[in-house]
Amino acid sequence: MSLFQTKKSISGKVVVITGASSGVGLATAIAFAKEGCKIVLAARGEEALKKALQQCQDLGATVVYKATDTSNAEEVEELVNFTLKHFSQIDFWINNAGVMASGKFEEIPMEVSEQVIKTNLMGYMHSAYYVLPVFKKQEKGILINNVSIAGYMPAPFSAVYSATKYGIKGLMAGLQSEYSIYPQIHICNIYPQVQQSTGNMHSAKYSGLDFKIPPFAADPTDTAQLMVNLTKKPKNDNFPDASSYLLKSVHDFFPQIITNIAHIAMRVMMKM
């Protein structure tokens, strides 16, 4: 049994996953499919969603999808209503949709930086805003946020991305306190490091940056399994692997040194 697995059954529970068409989101969908959950897949690209749906159905799961841009509040509200129409309840909501733009701050187009904020920070806020009232009505539910280690330490040459992750951490910390009076409603945050994911390769890059997935990148299936585990045993703040926790701990003791080293490494990959 995996380090992150527990024996409690969540078969038949309803889970909504944003950013579900690739990377960590797809790995998470597959992990919940193996648990026997009813799954709602959400992402912007419909063709990729269809492929993800097929993969989950091949595992015997009950799955539907809805093309959704989480940066649009109305589309998130529609996703909530779509789920309730199909399954009458929402047990778990996974905030996972995210985008990244890397390069010199002033060389990243303003509209790109604004979209990073809209998708990452506003997208998570939109989801929380519309799903938490459902949890209140049900008197139960678990919201899980894939925040990133960048919620604790700034990502080099990704200032706006870092701002969104610090913002998500602050937003959810406030909501954890606010919702602590509801014993069966939980808000869980996870802080993974760089993932072995195509999303990292396809993120927007500027300033001559040639980013490749580093050899120490984590397996997204570990992050996905932690999300499953949190539906069985909720915990506020979590790290999916030892390397994520180690990075955070070392940064706590030597913040400026670690930040400077990371920026130097990124400069090597840029045409300065």
- CA 260 to chain CA centroid, nearest Å: 26
d(CA 48, CA 65): 10
For residues 171 and 179, is the Cβ–Cβ distance under 8 A?
no
44, β-bridge pairs:
none
With tokens 């989801």, the residue in question is 127
- Catalytic annotation present for 182: no
Task: Tokens for 137, please give them.
Answer: 């009505």
Task: Tokens for 23, please give them.
Answer: 């990377």
Three-point CA angle 96, 170, 139, nearest 5°: 70
What sign does the CA torsion over 236, 13, 51, 69 have? negative
- DSSP H helices, 100-254, are 110-117, 123-138, 159-178, 198-202, 220-232, 242-253
Catalytic residue among 161, 179, 182, 191: 161
* Cβ neighbours, 10 Å, residue 55: 15
Which residue numbers are catalytic?
Answer: 161
